[in-house]
């Protein structure tokens, strides 16, 4: 990822302090973190330089009000108690985490200008959505993160059409065949899951290797050589299915 693109990624350890009252904030601010209880929320329409907005814990009415007042390029939403995902269509970066009521991401297909997208569950809750079909329309995506996510049809095929995708960060929750598919259809995309297995950064007891794919095991690279060869052969066989 280019250095200039890092601004579009939301990092929890770098988020701003929560604003409890917008009446106390400089209107020239470029980044804010607000909640559904933030006072003087109507002042948002005066923040003409705002580009990065973090929203925590809002209901549907509060969410609609906020997005009627501001048009940020980058939006982070966390712990939303809403069902309607409608929002502005000029976003470049969108991060949705711990959104328990979200199961249909169809509205995302209207955001064709999106370049950076994160969809993830929370610490305790998995993000459950029906399918990833809307992602196939986001041709400008260069970065995509799917973490702690369960897709009902278990298909990553829609991502195959994102030829401009430079980096994919994805958890190990899909069938092995789906990762093999993307390793073939997206040869220019950086993703450590495009392999039969990866070495863990921190071994778990005596397990230092994670086999790629849903319900696949963690193994020991020194004593499980034959098993790893079997998974390598299987991954290659899957790849050959998608080579045209």
For 90-137, what is each residue's pLDDT tens digit? 778 888 887 767 788 888 888 899 999 999 988 888 889 999 999 999
pLDDT attached to residue 160: 97
Residue 229 located in a structural domain:
no
Residue 200 located in a structural domain:
no
Residue with tokens 């230092």: 208
What's the domain count of the chain? Answer: 1
**Residue 234: in which H helix or E strand, if any?**
helix 225-242
For 150-189, what is each residue's pLDDT tens digit? 999 999 999 999 999 999 999 999 999 999 999 999 999 9
Residue 157 tokens read as 């095929």
Residue 198 located in a structural domain:
no
The Cα 143–Cα 98 span in angstroms is 19
Residue 195 located in a structural domain:
no
This prediction has a pTM of 0.78
Residue 41 tokens read as 């929320």
- CA quadruple 9, 134, 180, 185: dihedral positive or negative? negative
Q: Which domain covers residue 32, as residue numbers? A: 3-171
Whether the CB-CB separation of 231 and 216 falls below 8 Å is answered with yes
Residue 234 located in a structural domain:
no
Residue 22 located in a structural domain:
yes
Residue 207 tokens read as 């397990």
Whether the CB-CB separation of 108 and 136 falls below 8 Å is answered with no
Residue 63 located in a structural domain:
yes
Residue 42 located in a structural domain:
yes
If DSSP codes are grouped into helix, strand and coil, which group holds residue 132? coil
Q: How far is CA 95 from its chain centroid?
A: 6
């Amino acid at each position: 990822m280019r250095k200039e693109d890092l601004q579009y990624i939301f990092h929890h350890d770098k988020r701003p302090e929560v604003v409890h009252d917008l009446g106390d904030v400089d209107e020239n601010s470029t980044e804010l973190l607000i909640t559904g209880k933030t006072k003087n929320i109507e002042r948002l329409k005066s923040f003409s330089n705002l580009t990065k907005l973090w929203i925590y814990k809002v209901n549907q009415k509060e969410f609609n009000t906020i997005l009627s007042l501001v048009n940020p390029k980058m939006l982070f939403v966390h712990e939303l108690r809403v069902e309607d995902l409608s929002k502005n269509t000029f976003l470049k970066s969108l991060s949705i985490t711990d959104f328990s009521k979200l199961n249909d991401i169809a509205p995302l297909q209207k955001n064709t200008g999106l370049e950076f997208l994160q969809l993830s569950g929370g610490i305790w809750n998995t993000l459950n959505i029906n399918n990833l079909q809307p992602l196939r329309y986001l041709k400008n995506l260069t970065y995509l993160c799917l973490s702690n996510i369960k897709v009902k049809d278990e298909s990553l095929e829609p991502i195959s059409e994102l030829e401009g995708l430079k980096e994919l960060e994805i958890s190990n929750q899909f069938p092995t065949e789906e990762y093999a598919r993307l390793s073939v259809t997206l040869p220019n995309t950086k993703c450590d899951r495009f392999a039969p297995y990866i070495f863990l950064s921190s071994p778990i007891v005596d397990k230092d290797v994670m086999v790629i794919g849903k319900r696949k095991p963690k193994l020991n690279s020194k004593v499980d050589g034959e098993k790893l060869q079997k998974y390598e052969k299987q991954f290659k066989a899957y790849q050959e299915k998608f080579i045209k």
